[in-house]
């Protein structure tokens, strides 16, 4: 009974994870085509460090900025992440706005994040298929195989 409940809850969580990830992909695609949203994202990065933007543009919680630099560099997830230090991002507050450089940073970050998100969606889909096919006998798929 416990395993059946765990399986159903984990299947539902996996579907929700896939849905949220797909929404991130839709946002990335929208950002590429909407000039108004590009300007808003640029201003958010320049004014507030990306607070309120998705995880890949939130510089306030960026592991390079506030995390353990050794862990970040050793973690393959962040290996190819464009670092904010490599861009001349302006500051709205001191009037040194450089929207073109800010947009270049945002574009590089969304290109990087899209690859990761698509890979995570694929992994979550594979996990869902394995878990859904599990007949509640033997060992359940382990927590290490969860993509999130």
Mind listing the pLDDT tens digit for each residue in 30-76? 999 999 999 899 889 988 889 999 999 998 888 777 666 676 667 77
**What is the pLDDT at residue 114?**
97
For residue 116, what pLDDT is reported? Answer: 94
pLDDT above 90 for 142:
no
In sequence order, what are the residues at sequence separation of 6 or more whose Cβ sits closer than 8 angstroms to the Cβ of residue 54? 24, 27, 113
| 63 vs 54: CA distance, rounded Å | 14
Do the Cβ atoms of 21 and 123 come closer than 8 Å?
no
pTM score, whole prediction: 0.83
What pLDDT score does 119 carry?
Answer: 93
Average pLDDT of the chain, as a whole number: 85
Decide if pLDDT at 145 tops 60: no
For residues 24-54, one letter each, b for 16 or more C-beta atoms within 10 angstroms of the residue's C-beta and e for the rest, the string is: beebbeebeeeeeebeebbebbbeebbeebb
Question: Where do the domains of the chain lie?
Answer: 2-134
CA-to-CA distance for 80 and 42, rounded, in angstroms?
21
End-to-end, the C-alpha distance of the chain in Å comes to 25
What percentage of residues in the chain have a pLDDT greater than 70? Answer: 84
């Amino acid at each position: 009974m416990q395993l059946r409940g765990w399986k159903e809850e984990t299947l539902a969580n996996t579907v929700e994870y896939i849905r949220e990830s797909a929404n991130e992909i839709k946002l990335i695609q929208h950002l590429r085509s909407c000039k108004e949203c590009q300007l808003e994202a640029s201003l958010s990065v320049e004014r507030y460090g990306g607070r309120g933007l998705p995880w890949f543009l939130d510089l306030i919680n960026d592991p390079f900025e506030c995390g353990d630099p050794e862990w970040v560099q050793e973690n393959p997830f962040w290996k190819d992440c464009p670092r904010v230090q490599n861009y001349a991002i302006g500051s709205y507050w001191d009037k040194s706005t450089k929207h073109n450089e800010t947009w270049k940073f945002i574009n590089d970050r969304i290109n990087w994040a899209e690859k990761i998100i698509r890979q995570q969606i694929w992994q979550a889909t594979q996990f869902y298929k394995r878990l859904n096919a599990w007949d509640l006998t033997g060992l359940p798929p382990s927590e290490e195989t969860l993509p999130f």
